[in-house]
């Protein structure tokens, strides 16, 4: 049967070890001398060990006491840290995070899970939209922190990565070989004008196979080999793959993944969120 050490007794034990006596330790703990002595005695009896010896009117640790002191300090430190995290007002509230839909996967679920485990009382609200809309919302104060995918970042942006923009289509598909080439993009997608301009410069006829703002419809059309689209390398949706037919399709160049911090929070929560985003998306 498992046995547990009493954290209250351990705290008294550490106080006596640091103070060198029960009387002073009791004053530091705001307890009576008899209460502290009883806690130490019960712990010694439960473990069948003596942790203190009296020398020159001062209590000193036995070898067993020295060993226990190391464990006790670590256990109390973890206990106090857990209580601080779970009860401190510093680790409460809401952080509004905006991320373009095309780079939500695969990184964001892992980032959000780690943050939820570390700061369970902080609510992270995730918004997914187009870079232009995210930047507009950030300027209005709708978001505290945003990621973007863009060619020309604002001066206040922190550039995390520079990645190729690549054509994507159905695995083993042939839609990319047909002419006119059918494209699948949401109407506000920042990749859309770049792809269209590249095709026109290369003299490739194209037509839109998807209209509107439903990303799921776009991905369904592409996965069904009825259209092709473009995504940043490293953020390819499930059900599609990079088209390597560069002899038939023009290069799309590169875009930057950028981080914007509104500075609303200046605490450990904000620092942890920014660190997680940098680790997840930086080259």
**pLDDT band at residue 189 under the 50/70/90 scheme:** confident
- Which residues lie below 8 Å from residue 218, measured CB to CB, with a gap of 6+? 184, 185, 186, 210, 227, 229
Q: Determine the pLDDT at residue 3.
A: 85
For the entire predicted model, the pTM comes to 0.72
Look at the chain and report how many structural domains it folds into: 2
pLDDT at 24 over 70: yes
**pLDDT band at residue 1 under the 50/70/90 scheme:** low
pLDDT at 268 over 90: no
Question: What whole-number distance in Å separates Cα of residue 217 and Cα of residue 29?
Answer: 64
Is residue 51 included in any domain, yes or no? yes
Q: For 207-243, what is each residue's pLDDT tens digit?
A: 999 877 788 899 999 999 999 999 999 888 889 999 9
Q: Determine the pLDDT at residue 135.
A: 95
Is residue 2 included in any domain, yes or no? no
Is residue 77 included in any domain, yes or no? yes
Q: Domain limits at 223?
A: 91-283
Query: Domain ends where: 40, 61, 87?
Result: 87
Is residue 145 included in any domain, yes or no? yes
Is residue 216 included in any domain, yes or no? yes
Q: What is the DSSP letter of 150?
A: E
230 and 197 belong to one structural domain: yes
Q: Determine the pLDDT at residue 95.
A: 94
- Which residues lie below 8 Å from residue 220, measured CB to CB, with a gap of 6+? none
211 and 253 belong to one structural domain: yes
Q: Find the mean pLDDT for residues 180-200.
A: 93
Q: Determine the pLDDT at residue 197.
A: 96
Is residue 277 included in any domain, yes or no? yes
65 and 14 belong to one structural domain: yes
156 and 82 belong to one structural domain: no
Q: Determine the pLDDT at residue 213.
A: 74
Q: Determine the pLDDT at residue 71.
A: 96
> What CATH number is given to the structural domain containing 38?
1.10.10.10
**pLDDT band at residue 168 under the 50/70/90 scheme:** very high
Q: For 62-109, what is each residue's pLDDT tens digit?
A: 999 999 999 999 999 999 988 888 887 778 889 999 999 889 988 999
77 and 96 belong to one structural domain: no
**pLDDT band at residue 136 under the 50/70/90 scheme:** very high
Q: Determine the pLDDT at residue 104.
A: 92
147 and 240 belong to one structural domain: yes
Question: What whole-number distance in Å separates Cα of residue 166 and Cα of residue 176?
Answer: 12
């Amino acid at each position: 049967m498992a046995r547990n050490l009493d954290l209250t007794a351990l705290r008294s034990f550490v106080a006596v070890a640091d103070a060198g006596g029960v009387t002073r330790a009791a004053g530091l703990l705001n307890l009576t001398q008899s209460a502290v002595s009883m806690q130490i005695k019960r712990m010694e009896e439960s473990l069948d060990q003596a942790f203190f010896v009296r020398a020159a009117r001062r209590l000193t640790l036995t070898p067993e006491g020295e060993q226990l002191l190391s464990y006790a300090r670590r256990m109390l430190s973890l206990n106090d840290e857990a209580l601080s995290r779970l009860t401190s007002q510093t680790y409460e509230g809401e952080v509004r995070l905006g991320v373009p839909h095309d780079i939500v996967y695969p990184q964001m679920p892992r980032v959000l899970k780690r943050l939820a485990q570390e700061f369970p009382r902080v609510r992270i609200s995730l918004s997914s939209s187009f870079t232009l809309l995210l930047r507009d919302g950030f300027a209005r104060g709708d978001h505290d922190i945003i990621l973007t995918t863009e060619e020309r970042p604002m001066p206040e942006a922190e550039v995390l990565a520079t990645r190729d923009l690549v054509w994507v289509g159905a695995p083993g598909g042939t839609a990319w070989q047909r002419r006119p080439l059918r494209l699948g993009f949401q109407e506000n997608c920042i990749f859309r004008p770049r792809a269209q301009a590249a095709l026109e410069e290369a003299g490739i006829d194209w037509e839109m196979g998807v209209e509107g703002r439903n990303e799921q419809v776009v991905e369904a059309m592409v996965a069904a080999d009825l259209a092709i689209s473009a995504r940043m390398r490293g953020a390819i949706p499930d059900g599609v793959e990079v088209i390597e037919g560069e002899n038939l399709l023009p290069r799309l160049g590169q875009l930057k993944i950028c981080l914007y911090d509104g500075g609303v929070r200046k605490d450990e929560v904000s620092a942890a969120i920014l660190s997680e985003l940098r680790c997840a998306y930086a080259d």
